[in-house]
Amino acid sequence: MPEDGAELHPATEALQALKWDDEDDTPLDRANKYKEEGNKYFEFKKYRNAIIAYTEGIKQRCTDPTVNAILFCNRATANFYLGK
């Protein structure tokens, strides 16, 4: 995992673009992908990156209230671990 604030290698950026640029994904699909990404960052104690991923998941405005609740709770927990 890259360090907080570190620049990504161009190859890494290209891989991320492949992961996120699927036009067939619904807002729910994208929200779940961001949730999974945030969970990985959280697992590695990269709380700031986790917060960014959970926030991006929230921005997808999916219609599943359970997924939205998990994203908000996970983001709050990551903020808690940062002392906020």
The answer, yes or no, to whether residue 72 has pLDDT greater than 60, is: yes
Q: How far apart are CA 52 and CA 56, in angstroms?
A: 6
Which pLDDT score is estimated for 33? Answer: 93
pTM of the complete model = 0.76
What is the pLDDT averaged over residues 49-66? 94
Q: Which residues of 44-75 are buried (b: 16+ CB within 10 A; e: fewer)?
A: eebbebbbbbbebbbebebeeeebbebbeebb
Which pLDDT score is estimated for 4? Answer: 56
The answer, yes or no, to whether residue 26 has pLDDT greater than 80, is: yes
Whether 21 contacts 27, CB under 8 Å: no
The answer, yes or no, to whether residue 61 has pLDDT greater than 60, is: yes
